[in-house]
Every structure is written in structure tokens, then in C-alpha cells.
Structure 1
């Protein structure tokens, strides 16, 4: 098996949306289904694909694709946070507020927004290879370390991140997403200096 990385292309938007949804245990599709843009798409992941096509930091432009044996195995979506903390919008949806508050504590760091690996490629080094790329991007952007947010109950991901030098810097209680079974009680901001 040969794993390779490449910058995402616009044509990867659907695959990125799928892996973003996988990274958050299917919860993005639930939100996309409620999005105003969902009308006429017939599919929440189509809304996600449209989101990933946008020209902003949370899009295909900030993604790296991992390929193995002729297929996409996983994806890293990340970016350097501004050096100064940004204000969390007052009208942000309540379930997203604690996540956004933690992300704003990551100012000056390279922020791993999403890391998703297809089920058949888990435990085969894809996540580690993508984290190696995050290390490289951190250095190339002169970021002050790395940061990511994870559920306290996501033991597998937490152990991987701890092995890679991340530790918990802050936490916020989760606000339940409507109609979603909650897996933990806190969001954790993990950092790696």
C-alpha cells in the first residue's frame, strides 16, 4: 500500500464534504439538511459540496487529500489562525458557540479544523500521515504550534493526538445539537506547541 498526499482540487469538494461529515460523526449533514441552500438539492451532502466550493478558509482551498491504492483514504482541512483573537458573533447558533469560543483561543496556531479518514483506511497510518502534513504546514506558516477541537468521549482520536504531542488547554460544555445523540459532555481544545 502506498499512501500519498496532495493539495485538494476544486473537483474534490464532494469527497471533502463527505469526510467532513465523517469527521463529526454525521452531524454536519444534519445541519446541512436544515440549511437554506438545501431546498432543491435533495441531499444534505450536496449542500456540503456547495459549502466546500466556496472561496473561504473552510473549503477545498484549505484541504489536503490522502490517497491510497487509487482512492481517497482521508483528508485534512486546516489553516493558520490570525495572531489576534477574533470575536465570536453574538448571533452564532448555540451548539456552535462553545466550539467557536475554543477555536478563537487558538489564535496564532495552525488549526486542524477537520481530519477525516474513511473507515476502511483507519488504523493504517492515514491519520498519522495527515498529522505529519499538519506539522509541515505549521512550520511553513510560522504558526505558534497547532490546535484542534475534539469531543471528550472520542477516546481513539484523543489518544492519537496525545501520542502526537497534543494536550488539553481548555474545554467548554457541549450544547446539544437538535436531534443528535451526544457522545460526550465537553469539547476539548488540544494544543501542540
Structure 2
């Protein structure tokens, strides 16, 4: 297995995996963006293939084995200061996430981490997390941050084992296709930059 920067031709894998990591919220949002007759996944694939934007292949890395994508991570540095002026323009289901992100300005944010179901338990997530840590240190960040649904127990266990601590939470706002309820939990881990 190796980790490489995502490419535009990884857009289909990226769309599938970000929807998995995003608890079905991406598909819900893509459905709202889709033109008549267009599938939500087609919208996601198009967005993943963009050159710019938070969800762009340019912010993603993939773990590959024998030419097959096994998992992905979408991560980047959050702005500092973090501007909440446009919060009212965000869909209501996204607002808790944006509010939590704003609590950790300048941190290296793991927006999404997902592994194909048949590749779980093989070290893919740990390998991608190690890559995120190296990127964060190279960018001069002192903290890793992420948000996870409290009811997503497998992901929560992974982040606990990786040394993340919960620092804040806000309720999940239910949406069609919502896979987990409970709360969105903001978790952080200090980096050893010395």
C-alpha cells in the first residue's frame, strides 16, 4: 500500500468515500444541487474533479494498492481567523460543523477519512492519518482537528486510539439519509513539532 496525491480521475472514488465519511450528508446536499435528471453522485463526482474548493481532489490523498483506491483523506489548514460571517448562507445541517470548525482556527483539519468496507482493518486509516500528521507538521500546524458523529462508534474508537480528545460538541441536525444522530464531536490532538 502507498499514499499518493489524489488525481482528477479519482473523482468517482472520492465522491463515494466522502459521502461515506460524511454520514450521507454530502449526498443529501448534492441532491439539492442536482439538475433535473442528474444523480446526486454525478454532482459529487463533478465537485471532486474541481480544481478549487474545499471538496476538490487537490485537497485529497488516496491509499492505493495494486492500482485500486482503498481509502482517502481530505485535509487542509483551517483559516485563522475563521470567519463566520457567511454562516447564515450555509444549509442548516452544515452549520453545527462550521461552528465547531471555527473553534480551532489554524489547525490542520481532517475533513474526511474513509476506507472502502472491504479494506477496513488493514491499516489504511492509520496510514492516511500518518500522512495527515506529516502534512500538518510541514505546514507549521501545532494541532490536528476533526469532527465525528458521536454514534459513529468505529470512527470514534479509531480517533481515541490515535490520541484525539473531544473538546466541544453540537447536536446533529437530522437530514434525509442521516446515518448517525447524537452529536457532532470536535476532537483535537496536539502535534509534536519539536
TM-score, normalised via structure 1 length = 0.91
The 1:30/1:138 distance shift into structure 2, 3 A limit, reads: same
> Contact conserved, 1:76 with 1:114, CA < 8 A, in 2?
yes
1:170 counterpart residue number? 168
CA–CA separation in structure 2 for the residues paired with 1:41 and 1:80: 36
Alignment gaps of 5+ in structure 1: none
* Cα displacement (A) at 1:122: 0.6
> Contact conserved, 2:24 with 2:179, CA < 8 A, in 1?
no
Structure 1 runs of 4+ with >6 Å offset: none
Q: Does 1:43 align with 2:39?
A: yes
* Cα displacement (A) at 1:40: 5.1
* Cα displacement (A) at 1:43: 1.9
* Cα displacement (A) at 1:183: 1.9
Alignment gaps of 5+ in structure 2: none
45, 63, 66: which one pairs with 2:63? Answer: 66
The 1:146/1:6 distance shift into structure 2, 3 A limit, reads: same
CA–CA separation in structure 1 for the residues paired with 2:187 and 2:83: 19
Q: CA-atom RMSD, angstroms?
A: 1.5
> Contact conserved, 1:109 with 1:145, CA < 8 A, in 2?
yes
1:158 counterpart residue number? 156
CA–CA separation in structure 1 for the residues paired with 2:123 and 2:78: 27
* Cα displacement (A) at 1:182: 5.1
> Contact conserved, 2:14 with 2:72, CA < 8 A, in 1?
yes
TM-score, normalised via structure 2 length = 0.91
CA–CA separation in structure 2 for the residues paired with 1:181 and 1:79: 25
The 1:180/1:26 distance shift into structure 2, 3 A limit, reads: closer
2:115 counterpart residue number? 117
